[in-house]
Each structure stands twice: as C-alpha cells, then as structure tokens.
Amino acid sequence: MDKPILVIFVDAYPFEDSESLATKLSANTYKKVTPGVGYSINVKAEIFGKLKPDDVGYFCEWIYNKEKNFKWMTPLIVKLLTAIGSISNFMNRVIHKIVRMIINEPIYAIPFDVLPYLKNAGATAYEYAFEMPTFLSELNFVRVLYSDIGVNDEKVFRRAKDIVKRDKPKKLFVSTAELDGIMHYYGKGSKEYKKQIQLIDSNIIELVEAFKISHGGEADYFIFSDHGMAAVDEGVAFDIRKILGDPGKNTYFYFIDATFFRVWLNNKKLKTKLINAFNEVKQGHILDNTEREFYGLKNSEHGDIIFLLDEGKMFSPSFFGSIICKAMHGYDPALESQQGTLISNIITSDIDCVKASDIYDLVTQCSKAS
Ligand SMILES: [Zn+2]
C-alpha cells in the first residue's frame, strides 16, 4: 500500500497531441482512453470510481429533481420572471443575471419554469465531498485540486511541486482544468491551445522528475485525461415548446446540454409526438436501449428520451446560452476526436486503447504491486 504513485489528471488533453509528452518522458505506456458517455462529471466518476451513470445516480451536471428545488420560486414569481424574459433575448439575459446574483447560484440560461425542478449532480468524483469510494479515497491520495486553487494550471503545478519537495507524499493526485476552457473558447490547434500544451508538458516533466527524486526508482506515475474534443461547425436548435407546449408537472421537463437533449415525460402520451419530432433532426439521434445499456444509462431517471448530437454539432440555444464553442466534447465516445490519453511508466497490455473505467483498475493494481 505504500508504493509511491503520482497521478496527474489533465482535463481534455487529447490523445493525438500528447505523443510528444510521452516521448519526452520515455513512457512505457501511451494509449487512447475512450471516455464514458456524457461530460467530465460522469467520465470522472468512471475513471476514479468505476461508476457509470446508473451506478453514480446522475447523468450530466443538472438533473431532474421531482421535488421542487428552488423553494422561493412560487408560480407567480415564475410567471413574472418568464414574462420579463420573453420580452427579448437581451431582457432574458438580464433577468437571469439578476436572479443569479440574488440567489448566488449559477443558473446559466435555464428557463424559470424548468429551474425549480432541477438540481446539481453534486461533488465531482475526485473531490473530498464525493460520497462513493474512488481510488483516491481508498488509497488515501493527497490531492492538489484546481477546484481549491483556481482554474490556473501554472498555480496548480507550482503547488504540487512545492508539496512534493516539502511533504514527499507517497500518493499524490493533481488535477488541472485550464486546457478544457481554452479549447472550448479558442479551438483546437489555436496558438493559445499550443501554448497551454507546452506549459502543461513542461510542468508535468518537472513534477514527474521531482516525484522520482523524492521516492527513487519504485515511483510510478499515471498521466491521463477524460476526453478529447471535436471542432464545432454547426449550431442546432430544437424548440420542444413548439412541439409539446409548455413544460410542467403534468406534461414534461427537459434539459438542453451542449450535445445532449434530455426529456422527462410526466405524460407518456407525448412520447410518440416527441420521437417523431426528434427523428426530423438529421444531426443526431435518440439513444436506443442497446446504447443506453452499453453506456450504463438505463435508468429512466436520466431521461425518458435522450437525444445525442453528431460530432461537430452543438445545441444553440442550450440551457447554457446561445454561444457556439469552437470545440466540444460529449459526443459518441468511440469517435477518434473524443479519445483522451493515458501515459505511464508502467507496462500495460498490448491493446491500443483503454476504457475510462480501466484507469481505476490500473492504479489500484499498481498500488498492490511491490
Ligand atoms: Zn469541457
């Protein structure tokens, strides 16, 4: 159990751009990581705890909460806010901003008549507050988290290097997230992206070296990411209200993510109408039962209908606004563009690709090896 292991998580580091890091480290393993379904919050649950959406109990960051969540939102206030927001897009943005400031919750562009029936999924799998077991909690990793320090890779790596030198922890976990935002905003291959990759690579090389100096030849390291990204070329609008009318307890609720459209049908009679409308959208498809089983997404709590866009498409508007990012993830996990990376000094089997949940096994097995 005392084996020194350094684990570095780089959100969104694509497989295809991490070869130079693997070469510089003379790594024994450089492989694709096929993400799980959904966004980082779910892929992290698979990586750190081997938990698919059905196991962890959520899919995506905002989930349907049958019990009303925003207690202050009486039907009258909902009607008033919706009415002001419907004057214009500008007014809608303004009223959301004001409400966000008052209640101090990130409500993005979520419609006010849906908001009371949604809740946040909760802590991410690598945080101390996450309640299910992960390899980080089971193996007592010391954690350097961007969520504590800020989305600033330079600061995160500086803190990690200081801790390695000062405390010499046998198990250290470092998580960074700046690259993800840079790719969304500037795009893959942009100069900002290339600069960030250089910063990450040089810091990782220094950190691995420092960890080896602290612990000698028996030290192992794992560097991995949760997904890659695809360039976005088209926004897709799907106006469910035009098809099913207003959402509500007797009709339906919905959530529009960047690439997923989830619908909970409180009135099952609406199903055929909705399926027919989604089938008209040529840039994606409804996940069928086989796919949902494969992804561990069977529970209808994740949505009675889940529609997934094709690579390079993005819902606009979504519940996060109307802006179309330069690059996005959360598509079919098997796509080449979605592959994350795994780099390690340990020797793994001959397969080219590992699943996100295999990383849990690799780290726990490594800790047991003497
Ligand atoms: Zn992202």
pLDDT value of residue 2: 83
Q: Calculate how far, in angstroms, residue 259's C-alpha sits from the geometric centre of ligand 1.
A: 11
Distance CA(10)–CA(175), nearest Å, equals: 6
Structure-block tokens of residue 178: 């700046």
What digits encode the pLDDT tens for the residues 277-320? 999 999 999 999 999 999 999 999 999 999 999 999 999 999 99
Q: Calculate how far, in angstroms, residue 153's C-alpha sits from the geometric centre of ligand 1.
A: 15
Which residues lie below 8 Å from residue 269, measured CB to CB, with a gap of 6+? none
Q: Could you tell me if 7 and 172 are in contact, meaning their C-beta atoms sit under 8 angstroms apart?
A: yes
Q: Calculate how far, in angstroms, residue 98's C-alpha sits from the geometric centre of ligand 1.
A: 26
What digits encode the pLDDT tens for the residues 349-366? 767 679 999 999 999 999
CB atoms within 5 A of ion ligand 1 belong to 180
Distance CA(130)–CA(137), nearest Å, equals: 9
Mean pLDDT value of segment 87-101: 88
Q: Which residue has the tokens 């096994």?
A: 361
Which residues lie below 8 Å from residue 199, measured CB to CB, with a gap of 6+? 153, 154
pLDDT value of residue 145: 96
Q: Calculate how far, in angstroms, residue 51's C-alpha sits from the geometric centre of ligand 1.
A: 20
- Residue 12 confidence class, pLDDT cut points 50, 70, 90: very high
Give all domains of the chain, ordered by start, each with its CATH number.
5-56+123-230+335-368 (3.40.720.10), 233-324 (3.30.1360.180)
Q: Calculate how far, in angstroms, residue 184's C-alpha sits from the geometric centre of ligand 1.
A: 7
pTM of the entire predicted model? 0.94
